[in-house]
């Protein structure tokens, strides 16, 4: 279903069923670093929910969640896996009602890395899912510091043979920073909203650097709807 760079004749494809998910074409858990870039009216929160509900094997241990703008309460996966919430909280309180949620300041890159390192060692899950990069990027004014942090993160994930699936709202950040994030990825999934005869729909394209496979923009399944339709 993907188009390779080599000029092979295009194979005939079976028609896509309504609501059929495109995640399974990419086999996210097979890669080390997956970056899901959303733009326009595509929701980071809903993209995270779709990943958790539809993109990962159902018989695998629950992933480690490292969240940012999305609060733990907004991810209802019904599992008690440990969660890191990389966010500023009001006042001086760093408490959270749930004991399995640890709040980390997004400008404390060392603590973010230490949390992920500790959880990777303790957690039987081999998958990390989150949107914490949005808060980290907006809190760190030094591109060099972010580059160093992200380089360490990517290296740690690959060394430990884990899969990190990180969602980023690309149109709120400087383009050069977003391109840096993409450059480290094995797989980049890009999402955008498009008008389809008066109805907004989500489209996705795949940049699979690991296997040298790239797709054109195509409609994503109805599991994910633009913000104007989900509210």
Q: Region 35-48: what's the mean pLDDT?
A: 93
SS3 letters across 155-221: HHHHHCCCEEEEEEEHHHCCHHHHHHHHHHCCEEEEEEEEEECCEEEEEEEEEECCCCEECCCEECC
How many Å apart are CA 104 and CA 112, to the nearest integer? 7
Q: Where is 153: in which H helix or E strand?
A: helix 143-159
Provide the mean pLDDT of the chain. Answer: 80
The predicted structure's pLDDT at residue 9: 38
User: Tens digit of pLDDT for each residue in 60-116?
Assistant: 888 899 999 998 888 865 555 678 999 987 544 566 667 788 899 998 999 999 999
The predicted structure's pLDDT at residue 79: 58
How many Å apart are CA 187 and CA 123, to the nearest integer? 24
Q: Region 123-146: what's the mean pLDDT?
A: 90
The predicted structure's pLDDT at residue 23: 58
Q: Residue 26: count other Cβ atoms within 10 Å of its Cβ.
A: 22
The answer to which of 3-17, 150-164, 169-183 has the lowest mean pLDDT is: 3-17
Q: Region 217-231: what's the mean pLDDT?
A: 59
How many Å apart are CA 23 and CA 20, to the nearest integer? 9
The predicted structure's pLDDT at residue 85: 92
Percent of the chain with pLDDT strictly greater than 90: 42
User: Tens digit of pLDDT for each residue in 21-34?
Assistant: 455 555 788 899 99
Distances (CA, A) of 159 to 117, 120, 125, 183: 11, 11, 15, 18
The predicted structure's pLDDT at residue 185: 94
Q: Which CATH architecture has domain 26-230?
A: 3-Layer(aba) Sandwich (3.40)
User: Tens digit of pLDDT for each residue in 12-24?
Assistant: 333 333 334 455 5
Distances (CA, A) of 24 to 55, 56, 57, 196, 200: 7, 9, 10, 24, 23
CA 41 to chain centre: 16
The predicted structure's pLDDT at residue 122: 81
The predicted structure's pLDDT at residue 96: 65
Contact status, residue 44 vs residue 63, Cβ threshold 8 Å: no
The predicted structure's pLDDT at residue 134: 95
Distances (CA, A) of 61 to 64, 74, 80, 140: 9, 20, 11, 32
Residue 8 has pLDDT above 70, yes or no: no
**How is residue 222 annotated by DSSP?**
T
All structural domains of the chain with their residue ranges: 26-230
Q: What is the largest CA-CA distance in the chain?
A: 62
Residue 209 has pLDDT above 60, yes or no: yes
CA 132 to chain centre: 9
Nearest alpha carbon to residue 69 among 40, 91, 98, 47: 47
């Amino acid at each position: 279903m993907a188009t390779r760079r080599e000029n092979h004749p295009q194979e005939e494809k079976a028609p896509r069923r309504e609501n059929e998910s495109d995640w399974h074409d990419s086999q996210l858990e097979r890669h080390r670093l997956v970056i899901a870039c959303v733009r326009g009216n595509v929701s980071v929160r809903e993209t995270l929910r779709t990943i958790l509900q539809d993109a990962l094997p159902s018989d695998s241990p629950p992933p480690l969640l490292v969240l940012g703008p999305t609060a733990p309460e907004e991810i209802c996966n019904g599992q008690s896996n440990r969660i890191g919430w990389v966010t500023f909280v009001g006042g001086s309180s760093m408490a959270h009602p749930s004991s399995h949620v640890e709040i980390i300041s997004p400008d404390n890159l060392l603590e973010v890395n230490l949390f992920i390192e500790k959880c990777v060692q303790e957690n039987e899950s081999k998958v990390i899912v989150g949107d914490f990069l949005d808060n980290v990027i907006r809190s760190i004014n030094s591109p060099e510091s972010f580059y160093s942090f992200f380089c360490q993160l990517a290296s740690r994930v690959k060394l430990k043979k884990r899969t990190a699936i990180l969602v980023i709202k690309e149109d709120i950040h400087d383009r050069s920073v977003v391109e840096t994030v993409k450059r480290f990825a094995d797989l980049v999934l890009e999402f955008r909203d498009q008008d389809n005869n008066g109805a907004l729909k989500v489209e996705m394209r795949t940049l699979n650097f690991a296997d040298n496979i790239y797709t054109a923009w195509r409609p994503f399944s109805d599991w994910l709807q633009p913000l104007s339709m989900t509210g």
